[in-house]
Structure 1
Amino acid sequence: MRRAAGLLLIVTSTLATLGMAAWGALALWFQAPFGEAGRAAPPAIWTIAVVVLLAMALRGRARFAWPALAGLAVAILAWWSTILPSNDRDWAPDVARTVTARVEGSTLVVENVRDFVWRTDEDFDERWETRRYDLDRIAGADLFLSYWAGEAIAHAIVSFAFDGSPPLAFSIEIRRRRGEQFSSVAGFFRRYELAFIAADERDVVKVRATVRHEDVRLYRIDIRPQTARRLLMSYVAMANEAAASPRWYNSLTTNCTTVIFGMARVLDPGVPRDWRVLFSGYLPGYLYDAGFLRRDAPLKSLVAQSHIAAKAPGPADDPDFSRRIREGVR
């Protein structure tokens, strides 16, 4: 029995050490401040040091090797704790500003609403606006899902409808540096800050459907206006907080879908936890089961009518865009 327990301890310790080696190498790869030329050296040195000490531990020098490995673990975690998010970097133009808002009576004043005109991902006209919305005239909310990597993964955009005003869309995105490309692996290693973007649908929805050629789908959320208002104010509160105190994006725990789910849990703690929150492409099934989509038609029918890409092309300043993409979507 003691021999089995000792073997189990060795196996567990070895796996944990190898996991630490892999995590540390990736963290150093994405965060070490030596530029592209010296990027490979820190993770290589780290990996060699951990593997050599692990081999020493397994070959009878455990009294020295295990404390040394513990010291390495403490050192890299101490370094990791010094990597802090910032709002002051050379940002890509489309995330150069993030939304803030304030309430004046029954009016929501929204600053830095993005209304870009996109021709390609590199060719666009930058427009940032301040807009005012009557909170007493909020009518509801819709969900856009933009599929770019198969059926499991989609980017979520929540858009709020107002009587007499164009919709206000919120997109929770990575805040990329100028020239930087998204990597889902880098998203686990404090590479990107979280960006709250408020935008015109002719910008944030149309660019994904017509410029990036993603499969954009629209679902009408079945909630009352007062619930939509509470959800909107949750967005405003989190956006203002992020503008004051930046947050890290995380590919698994803090992304466009998990943040929405966290806000929904604040509004209704009874909202069930579900694996489909992590695999955002399957959100329609979750929303349907939870009663947030219309139940007078089968889910298959709602999915079939949700595709809007064919209706998205048109003039950049088309005032009828939001109405047109909703035709035939129940």
Structure 2
Amino acid sequence: MLARAGAGALAAVVLFLSGAWGAFALAFRFPGRYAARIVAASVWALGCVVLWVAWIGWHVSWAPAALLIAFVALLAWWATIRPRNDRLWADDVARLMHGEVEGSRVVLHNVRDFNWRSDDDYDVRWDTREYDLERLARADAILSYWSGEAIAHAMLSFGFEDGRHVVFSVEIRRKRGEAFSEIGGFFRQFELILIAADESDIVRVRSNVRGEDDYLFPLRMTHDAMCSLFLSYVAAANELVGKPRFYNTVTSNCTTIVYRMAKRIDGALPFDLRLLLTGYLPEYLSDNGTLDRRLGVDEWRRLGRITDRARATGPQDDFSAAIRVGVPPAQSPPSGDSTA
């Protein structure tokens, strides 16, 4: 009797979750305007409720088969939704970065260098840049907090001996006029894009225009590890040109993709909940030795808070130099260690 009740409860949970998933999937991805999507989601939800009641309450024999057929049909439709690169994109994600590697020389195409005055007022500029990995000098994690202390957008900045910096950022690829939705990120609403940009663009727009709170953390990595991670970004960007992917709020976001690339360098790198709650990423980096342990995490946060320094910069200032004032560089790890 108990086993039967447990099986019934499990079936009820599965039915509820599958029905709710289907309603959200239709609400976000059913073809047509917002009203059509809401109608489709409502019809699905109502149909599920009627069939559940018919099966569990009225013991109608064909109700479970109808539920199964409906869900299989929904999954078949879901499988037809494919990521694409040929939509009408928002200006800041309109071009795909890609690169060419020849020895230590890397040429990046479509490096973003916008001048932002507001979210809707900016100068569009895309450049081709050349970098020499022999002159790669540092790597910094930049966290931009936009929704409380647990949620931040993570970016990785690579600095060269000549003072230039390029930031790689995994982001959603919004269509023109589209707004970000955390829930939509679970339901194939957005494609994924890897942006390469100047710090005066991609960091400044968050700190100075969108009012986010930004922090810089110097990473403790060998030169070889930095080069490998840089090249992993280039390879990932090149792959997206030929094989677009969907962004996913949990499985394909700004930190999980970086984690997968970094794990190729250090296979012992553990997975951790803090890779999802990105606001706590500095603690994860410290525990794994990637954040220099000369200072505690709280002290790195205090020194690395760049928000005020970023907002104090003018158009003619060296933005990258200004935000690093007072932030000590990371010490190099011992030879043969990727992070130590």
Paired with 1:287 and 1:165, the residues of 2 have a C-alpha distance of 25
TM-score in terms of structure 1 length: 0.97
Paired with 1:118 and 1:30, the residues of 2 have a C-alpha distance of 30
1:168 equivalent to 2:200? Answer: no
The corresponding residue for 2:332 is: none
Instruction: Give 1:152 deviation, angstroms.
Output: 0.3
Paired with 1:165 and 1:33, the residues of 2 have a C-alpha distance of 48
The corresponding residue for 2:333 is: none
Aligned amino acid, residue 107 of structure 1: R
1:12 equivalent to 2:10? Answer: yes
**Preserved contact between residue 30 and residue 189 of structure 1 (Cα < 8 Å):** yes
The corresponding residue for 1:280 is: 278
Listed as ranges, the gaps of 5+ residues in structure 1 are none
1:140 equivalent to 2:138? Answer: yes
Aligned amino acid, residue 30 of structure 1: F
1:22 equivalent to 2:20? Answer: yes
Instruction: Give 1:36 deviation, angstroms.
Output: 2.1
Going from structure 1 to structure 2, the CA distance change for 1:96 and 1:317 (only over 3 Å counts) comes to farther
Instruction: Give 1:67 deviation, angstroms.
Output: 1.0
Q: Which residue of the other structure, out of 39, 42, 45, is the alignment partner of 2:43? A: 45
Going from structure 1 to structure 2, the CA distance change for 1:264 and 1:33 (only over 3 Å counts) comes to same
Instruction: Give 1:284 deviation, angstroms.
Output: 0.3
Aligned amino acid, residue 134 of structure 1: D
Q: Which structure 2 residues correspond to residues 183-222 of structure 1 after superposition, within 5 A? A: 183-222=181-220
The corresponding residue for 1:131 is: 129
Paired with 1:154 and 1:246, the residues of 2 have a C-alpha distance of 24
The corresponding residue for 2:326 is: 328
The corresponding residue for 1:89 is: 87
Q: Helix, strand or coil for the counterpart of 2:189?
A: coil
Instruction: Give 1:270 deviation, angstroms.
Output: 0.1
Instruction: Give 1:300 deviation, angstroms.
Output: 1.4
Q: Helix, strand or coil for the counterpart of 2:263?
A: helix
The corresponding residue for 1:156 is: 154
The corresponding residue for 1:316 is: 315
**Preserved contact between residue 95 and residue 176 of structure 1 (Cα < 8 Å):** yes
Instruction: Give 1:198 deviation, angstroms.
Output: 0.2
1:73 equivalent to 2:71? Answer: yes
Aligned amino acid, residue 275 of structure 1: L
Aligned amino acid, residue 29 of structure 2: Q
Going from structure 1 to structure 2, the CA distance change for 1:62 and 1:264 (only over 3 Å counts) comes to farther
Instruction: Give 1:140 deviation, angstroms.
Output: 2.1
Instruction: Give 1:298 deviation, angstroms.
Output: 1.6
Cα deviation per residue 1:121-180 (whole Å; 9 max; x = unaligned)? Answer: 000000000000011111121010000000000001101111115111101100000010
Paired with 2:52 and 2:4, the residues of 1 have a C-alpha distance of 16
The corresponding residue for 1:300 is: 298
Cα deviation per residue 1:93-139 (whole Å; 9 max; x = unaligned)? Answer: 00001210011332100000000000000000000000000111111
Instruction: Give 1:23 deviation, angstroms.
Output: 0.5
Paired with 1:308 and 1:157, the residues of 2 have a C-alpha distance of 14
Listed as ranges, the gaps of 5+ residues in structure 2 are 329-340
Paired residues, what number? 327
1:61 equivalent to 2:27? Answer: no
Spell out structure 1 runs of 4+ moving beyond 3 A: none
**Preserved contact between residue 99 and residue 240 of structure 1 (Cα < 8 Å):** yes
Instruction: Give 1:62 deviation, angstroms.
Output: 4.6
Instruction: Give 1:22 deviation, angstroms.
Output: 0.7
**Preserved contact between residue 118 and residue 207 of structure 1 (Cα < 8 Å):** yes
Q: Helix, strand or coil for the counterpart of 2:37?
A: coil
TM-score in terms of structure 2 length: 0.94
**Preserved contact between residue 145 and residue 217 of structure 1 (Cα < 8 Å):** yes
Instruction: Give 1:246 deviation, angstroms.
Output: 0.3
Q: Which structure 2 residues correspond to residues 252-267 of structure 1 after superposition, within 5 A? A: 252-267=250-265
Paired with 2:31 and 2:319, the residues of 1 have a C-alpha distance of 45
For the aligned residue pairs, the C-alpha RMSD in angstroms reads 1.0
**Preserved contact between residue 202 and residue 317 of structure 1 (Cα < 8 Å):** no
Q: Helix, strand or coil for the counterpart of 1:316?
A: coil
Q: Helix, strand or coil for the counterpart of 2:127?
A: strand
Q: Helix, strand or coil for the counterpart of 1:312?
A: helix
